[in-house]
Amino acid sequence: MNYYQSNTIIYHNGKFVKASEATMDLYSQSLHYGYSVFEGIRSYKTTDGSTAIFKAVEHFERLKVSAEAINLPYSFDTKELIAATYEVLNQNKLGDAYIRPVVYAPANMSFARNTESYVFIEAWEMAPFLGDKLLRMMTSSFQRPNPKAFKIHAKAAGHYVNSILASQEAKDKGYDEAFLLDMNDHLAEGPGANMFFEKDGVLFTPKPGHILAGITRATVLEICTQLGIEVREGTYTLQDIKSADAAFFCGTAAEVIGWESLDDYVFPASFLETKSYQVQQAYKKMVVTPLSN
Ligand code: PMP
């Protein structure tokens, strides 16, 4: 995958620079210890032809919450970062894109706190996929991290070693993606997405505590309220999902995408006839709605 070309522009510490010329310190504490925070954001070409960053404020506010959760100094302003992101999209002529802001630490080989941190924002083209193809899922042999070991609500880079291990294991075994339980063997989430399952027209999703309770998850809850779909947040087991009618992943990158199976359990409902499908269609519409201001 080519994330950038020779003329691609990124935002780096207040400046718009060529991606190919931007540098970072190889002694950065972030690189050595996975000690950085990031966001995964999408922009969409909307129905009036404008480009809109979906839930921009929510994402940049979470970036701040993530940084503060792991003691990275955060001196950036959400409005300025959003403006910088639109400028990156504009300079690279991007509409449907994936946007990746990262906040990282200076050179520091110790574990001590830093007095400053740095930011960059990259973006590359990514078409909406909202897949018609349902996912063949595998219950991972890896669990999500113990929330007493990590600030689990923070989108910290180091957490993603767990995601990488789980995803690679599932793909090595011929599945599309992994699904992870928490340390108590309760349903948790995917390597980069939250999960809902559906039974008798009601949606269920793991409550916050052992998951990154995502912005798309919050959007799905919003959509369910709008559509009058009942949703419950709770603590669930594999037995619960393996007697469900349908299930789906939701996340910024994944959007809303249905599951075909989990291990040897095939979800019996036709996805097109589920509430989950109604949620997917509403999400699809929402992301391409022009911003009101
Ligand atoms: N869980 C994990 C572990 C993730 O990495 C993501 C992607 N950020 C999500 C859930 C979904 O979050 P969001 O909807 O905010 O993208």
Kindly report, residue by residue over 58-113, the tens digit of the pLDDT.
Answer: 999 999 999 999 999 999 999 999 999 999 999 999 999 999 999 999 999 999 99
> 58 with 158, same domain?
no
> Which tokens in the block code for residue 69?
């959760």
What CATH code is carried by the domain that includes residue 44? 3.30.470.10
Count of the separate structural domains present in the chain: 2
| Residue 1 counted as domain residue | no
Do residue 249 and residue 279 come from a single domain? yes
Query: What is the domain range of residue 167?
Result: 135-287
Residue nearest to atom 9 of ligand 1 (CA): 193
pLDDT score for 292: 81
**Residue 162 above 90 pLDDT?**
yes
Instruction: Look at residues 61, 93, 124 and tell me which one is the last residue of a structural domain.
Output: 124
Residue 213 CA to ligand 1 centre (angstroms):
7
In a domain, 129, yes or no: no
The CA distance from 290 to 45, in Å, is 8
What is the per-residue pLDDT across 175-233, written as a single tens digit (0 to 9) for each? 999 999 999 999 999 999 999 999 999 999 999 999 999 999 999 999 999 999 999 99
Confidence category of residue 293, pLDDT binned at 50, 70, 90: low
- Let me know whether 81 and 143 are in one domain: no
Q: Which of 64, 155, 242, 285 is catalytic?
A: 155
Do residues 78 and 216 both lie within one domain? no
Indicate whether residue 252 lines ligand 1 (CB < 6 A). yes
Whether residue 37 lies inside any domain: the answer is yes
CATH label of the domain that carries residue 208: 3.20.10.10
Is residue 155 among the annotated active site residues? yes
